[in-house]
């Protein structure tokens, strides 16, 4: 495996970028009245996942990386919750939410692995 020179080399960052695109497509299905509600919140939370991975990596400090990866995990949970609300309100179909939840789980596992690789003890990295 080639050395990681940039956050862009991280597979988890690449997957998170694809997840943002998935969330944008899914949120396009929300009604116009949700432009400043669920739609905006889903997009904001999704965008914060790869941006926090990038920011944490660029800090160049394992403790900082672990902290920012924690923020990414929180944003993943936020997207999951908002997507489930959109499903509950009938704005997004079950298969769309299932895809979001599956991809979020995959990214969450990758984030956990990256946290473990930092060697920093956190409440979520056991």
Rounded Cα–Cα distance for residues 112 and 126 (Å): 9
Asked if the structure places residue 3 within a domain, the reply is no
**Is residue 2 assigned to a domain?**
no
In a domain, 124, yes or no: no
Query: Which CATH number do you get for residue 58?
Result: 1.20.1440.60
- Please determine, for residue 83, whether its predicted confidence score (pLDDT) is greater than 70: yes
Tens digit of each residue's pLDDT (9 = 90 or more) over 21-54: 999 999 999 999 999 999 999 999 999 999 999 9
| Mean pLDDT over the full length of the chain | 93
Structure tokens at 65: 């990386």
Q: Is pLDDT above 60 for 125?
A: no
At 126, the pLDDT band (50, 70, 90 cuts) reads very low
Would you say residue 107 lies in a domain?
Answer: yes
96 part of a folded domain: yes
Burial class for 25, CB neighbours closer than 10 Å (0-12, 13-18, 19+): exposed
Angle, in degrees to the nearest 10, between helices 11-27 and 38-58: 170
Q: In this structure, is residue 123 part of a structural domain?
A: no
Q: Is residue 83 part of a domain?
A: yes
* Domains held by the chain: number: 1
State the residue range of the domain holding 114: 8-118
């Amino acid at each position: 495996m080639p050395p990681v020179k940039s956050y862009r080399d991280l597979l988890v960052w690449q997957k998170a970028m694809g997840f943002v695109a998935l969330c944008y497509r899914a949120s396009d299905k929300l009604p116009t009245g949700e432009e400043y509600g669920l739609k905006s919140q889903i997009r904001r939370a999704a965008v914060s996942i790869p941006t926090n991975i990038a920011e944490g990596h660029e800090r160049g400090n394992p403790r900082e990386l672990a902290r920012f990866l924690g923020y990414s995990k929180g944003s993943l949970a936020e997207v999951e919750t908002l997507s489930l609300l959109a499903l509950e309100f009938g704005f997004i179909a079950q298969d769309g939410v299932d895809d979001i939840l599956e991809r979020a789980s995959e990214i969450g596992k990758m984030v956990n692995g990256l946290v473990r690789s930092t060697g920093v003890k956190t409440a979520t990295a056991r």
